[in-house]
Amino acid sequence: METSEQFLDRAMKLLQRSDPIPKLLPQVRIGRMAPDSPALIAILESWLEAFVQVLKDGQAVLDVEGALRLDPNPRIAVLVEAGVLAENQPYVQAVRDAWSAALQAAQQRK
């Protein structure tokens, strides 16, 4: 069975590949891409869906430290501040709910 650390390494690589912050957010900030661009929205939704899946998959294996390292809230805050996500979007709530469930599952195994 995969350890929490092995899962976390694999999850971080997956999430980093699809992370919109390093490549797309600078394009929004300099005006090369509109915050409401359909392409950006599709990429954000795909990244958030991947994040939800990682968190759901991690519920059975993550320890508390691993779950805390996967906290999506700092990244979501950056995207909300930039105007490319809204706090009340269903995808945002789905990621937060999945993270809360993963953290709770890790705390129960402690």
Whether 110 shows a pLDDT value over 80: the answer reads no
User: What is the model's pLDDT at position 109?
Assistant: 85
Q: What is the pLDDT of residues 6-49, one digit of tens each?
A: 999 999 999 999 899 999 999 999 999 999 999 999 999 999 99
H helical segments located in the chain:
4-18, 20-29, 38-58, 64-69, 73-81, 90-109
Distance from C-alpha of 27 to C-alpha of 18, rounded to nearest angstrom: 16
User: To the nearest whole percent, how much of the chain has pLDDT over 90?
Assistant: 95
Both tokens of 79, joined, read 């995207």
Burial of 21 (0-12, 13-18, 19+ CB in 10 A): middle
pLDDT at position 1 is 81
Domain membership of residue 27 as a residue range = 4-109
Domains held by the chain: number:
1
Q: Rounded mean pLDDT of the chain?
A: 95
Q: Could you give the CA distance from residue 41 to residue 101 in angstroms, rounded to a whole number?
A: 25
